[in-house]
Amino acid sequence: MPAPLKARTDRSKPLAWIEIGSVAGREITLPSSVLRAANLNLMGSGQGSVTAAGILAELSSLVAEITSGAVAVDPLPMPLDRVERAWSTPTAPGRRIVLTL
């Protein structure tokens, strides 16, 4: 995180850093100087950062956006009985495996 923050020409401009998943590790080490040197907002994204009711409330509008074409999706359907294969199936950037019944 320090490198991209230091590379910014205007550190007073807001930057929202959203943590999604834990591929890079389960913990972060963050020097306190980073928090003082930039207009940085840290957020998490996952179960717990939004209530189940909040997620459900947004689903109908998300479906409407996808249906209208405003949000592009490129799913790769895979039957549920191939779930083990799904874990090791490579996908192109932006493509997601969707398990089907």
pLDDT at residue 35 in the model: 87
Residue 17 to residue 45: CA distance in whole angstroms: 10
pLDDT digits (tens, 9 = 90+) for 65-78: 999 999 888 999 99
What percentage of the chain reaches a pLDDT higher than 90? 43
Average pLDDT of the residues in 2-27: 85
pLDDT at residue 77 in the model: 95
Tell whether the torsion through CA atoms of 40, 7, 20 and 22 is positive or negative: negative
Q: Is the pLDDT of residue 22 over 80?
A: no
DSSP-derived 3-state class of residue 26: coil
pLDDT at residue 80 in the model: 95
DSSP E strands, the chain: 15-20, 40-45, 75-79, 96-100
